[in-house]
Chain A
Amino acid sequence: MEHLISLFVRSIFVDNMIFAFFLGMCSYLAVSKTVKTALGLGVAVTFVLLITVPVDYLLQTEVLEPTGSLNPGVDLTFLAFILFIAVIAAMVQLVEMIVERFSPSLYAALGIFLPLIAVNCAIMGASLFMQQRITMPDTNSQAIGGVADCLAYALGSGIGWLLAITCLAAIREKMAYTDVPKPLQGLGITFITVGLMAMAFMCFSGLNL
């Protein structure tokens, strides 16, 4: 239990997808103009992460690794990229259909960003980091050893991403009223803002539970 909470909190603040690894930067910069759409995208990313990371974990340990139960003795880990991206693309399609069926209003609000989650690096990145963390010793607070750990990690990463995109959207809404030098307007000042936010998040790096 302690390990789960530690993993969860660390993946929000210390191993934040945006500020520590710059994952999902493209949609992060493109969709952070208003707080409302930013929140919607953040929730969708969290949701997709919650499904794909545990599924990819099971695939990695049961199918790809030689110790897996499906095909013992055969090392298929080189297929990881293709398999992971296929799972992500399929899951995004599935999520899209479920959202369309049960909540048409949310579906309309998210629009094009829902299918684009498939190529959001944060999703693929979380699966690849999970793959690295399986080999870590149990004593390491970043280690992932089961489906529960995967869920805690996915939820933490998703919430961390949500937090980051909502904060940036809030800052950018206010920034519309500031007098920024002309060549720096738009993209340039956004990068520098994110840089300053990343510096602020660096103070969490000593955090340990």
Chain B
Amino acid sequence: MSLFSKANKEALTSPLNLNNPVVVQVLGICSALAVTSQLEPAIVMGLSVTIITAFSNLIISIIRNSIPNRIRIIVQLVVVAALVTIVSQVLKAFAYDVSVQLSVYVGLIITNCILMGRLEAFAMMNKPWPSFLDGIGNGVGYALILIIVGFFRELLGSGSLMGYQIIPDACYNIGYMNNGMMTMPAMSLIIVGCVIWAHRAYNKEL
């Protein structure tokens, strides 16, 4: 079997749109909502989740035949928790500001349903390479939604992107104002609701 056969490509690309983990499978909502008040933490979070999903899928898929069925949840949790600990220590060492901003949500990647969902649904019954691709696909699909939500919340809430001011001072001078509501947690729910609306209106079959 070639490395990028049709089935493997499918595993990589379907989570980006038709099988998106956030807006279609409804997994991993907690962190998607909480870390998106600015674009930068959203990108870091998306990246961390992608790495952890990909490698936990790979590891579980390699050892899937030797895991007793009864204790598989604990085995999965330990693998995920070990990976999350590594990512959290790396973030603390190299990106301390972002890690403070993300606070408990880095630790909460352990209980992110995307991980458990993909491990149970895909990695437990597929070979390592397709599982790895599936992990990357789902991680990127998750990051995509985070980036969309983070983009709108930071642009409309603080008039900037990645910390740089985007909306020119001239606009403020003629009376434009930042919508402070956008930086509040409540608005992220409504934006995700709108993203789902747009996505379903576009993909009629869902």
Contacts and interface: CB of A to CB of B under 8 A. Distances in A.
B34 A22 contact: yes
Interface residues of B, number: 43
A194 B189 CA distance: 7
B107 A26 contact: no
B112 A121 contact: yes
A187 B23 CA distance: 8
Given A82-B82, A189-B193, A29 B26 contact: yes
B186 A22 contact: no
A129 B103 CA distance: 9
Contact of B29 (A29, A86, A192): A29
Given A124-B110, A129-B104, A187-B26, A195 B197 contact: no
Main secondary structure of the interface of B (DSSP, over half): helix
A125 B105 CA distance: 8
A49 interface: no
Contacts of B112: 121
Interface stretch (B54-62, B71-79, B150-158, B160-168): B71-79
Contact of A81 (B26, B30, B88, B186): B88
Given A26-B28, A81-B84, A89-B73, A192 B111 contact: no
Interface string B10-35: 00000000000001001111110110
Contacts of B34: 21-22
B104 A128 contact: yes
Contacts of A120: 111
B116 interface: yes
A85 interface: yes
Interface of B: 23, 26-31, 33-34, 73-74, 77-78, 81-82, 84-85, 88-89, 103-104, 107-108, 110-113, 116, 184-190, 192-194, 196-198, 200-201
A80 to B, nearest CB: 8
B189 A191 contact: yes
A119 B107 contact: no
Contacts, number: 127
A185 to B, nearest CB: 8
A154 interface: no
A194 B26 CA distance: 15
A119 B116 contact: yes
Contacts of B29: 22, 25-26, 29
Contacts of A184: 193, 196-197, 200
29 contacts: A22-B31, A22-B34, A23-B108, A26-B28, A79-B85, A81-B81, A82-B81, A82-B82, A85-B111, A86-B77, A89-B73, A89-B77, A119-B116, A124-B108, A125-B108, A129-B104, A183-B198, A188-B196, A191-B189, A191-B190, A192-B190, A192-B193, A195-B187, A195-B188, A195-B190, A195-B193, A198-B189, A202-B184, A202-B186
Nearest to B199: A183
A94 interface: no
Contacts of A177: none
A82 B28 CA distance: 20
Given A26-B28, A187-B196, A199 B104 contact: no
B200 A188 contact: yes
Contact of B186 (A29, A129, A198): A198
B78 A81 contact: no
B113 A119 contact: yes
Given A21-B34, A30-B26, A125-B108, A195 B189 contact: yes
B111 A188 contact: no
